[in-house]
Amino acid sequence: MPLNKPPIHFDLLDFFTQDNPLLQFTFDTLPVPIFCKDINGIYLDCNRTFEEFIKISRQELIGHSVYELFDKALADAYQQADQQLFDNPGVQIYEKQIRTNLGDTVFVKFHKTSFCDEKGNVAGLIGVIFDITEQKEIEQKLIKNATFDTLTGFYNRRHGTEIAMEKMALAIKKEIQFAIVMIDIDHFKRVNDQYGHSAGDTALQHLSAIIEQLIEPEEAVVRWGGEEFLILISAPIEQKKFRRKIIERANYLRESIFSKPIFLEQNTLTLTVSCGVSCYTEQSLRELINEADAFLYQAKHQGRNQVCG
């Protein structure tokens, strides 16, 4: 976005278009990509770092517009940002994902400043590009780790709770119906004891892959802890027999898991799960989860591999 700073008022246009070895030497020794354009969007000059970064030579660049050098979508984005700066002279800073001339995708931060001619009219801009690709990758990893469980790929408990609270808020306003299905792998300790914890991780990933294939758009899956999962399910307020449909849905997931065995150390292992279903009827979120948990243990006590709710 343009910042409210006064534009540069000396004649950079002549400065850039002159054969100035000192300027070019200074440009080329700077470690960040630098470029300049006139008011019509024509490139006037760039430094060697810019050539290496964008993968376009100075000879190919100077005298051409973005529409002659990049695909239309990218050129439109560049031109629009430049025009915003010309319409609001000063400093403009923004981040963008771009492609080099060789097709490499990078994240950059543009820092551009408009300049004026001797009459005080906006004549062009000079821009600096900072490569923030590594920074963005780190940010994405941090966001992912804060949101998802690394083993299963489902939402972690913290973010799952946030989603549940959002759905609860809609349910309280009677905009949706909301239910929780709590799923727990039966005799999971035996898997770890017999085959080792790495096999236990494999079993969790196996179950997660099955659920992932069957999940519906209105459902969110949370790894609640250990071998326990929550499925958060919402439906339109006018849907009838909601509880029955949720129990049917839980049984479908349970049967699908049972029907797909996992192979561990040349052995076939059939996983079963017990499920507890709780539907929102003006409880708090804690009460809703506790109710699902109580129904889950009822299913366990009644023989496992079943749904209670």
| Tokens 């278009």, residue located | 17
What does DSSP assign to residue 7? Answer: P
Q: Which of 258, 246, 240 is nearest to 308 (CA)?
A: 246
Choosing from 227, 238, 287, 291, the catalytic residue is 227
Number of H helices, E strands in the chain: 12, 13
CA distances from 115 to 89, 118, 185, 188 (A): 8, 10, 66, 68
> Is 243 exposed, middle or buried, given 0-12, 13-18 or 19+ CB atoms closer than 10 A?
middle
Identify the DSSP state of 32: S
Clarify whether 166 is annotated catalytic.
Answer: no
Q: What gap in Å lies between CA 5 and CA 289, rounded to an integer?
A: 54
Active-site residue list: 227
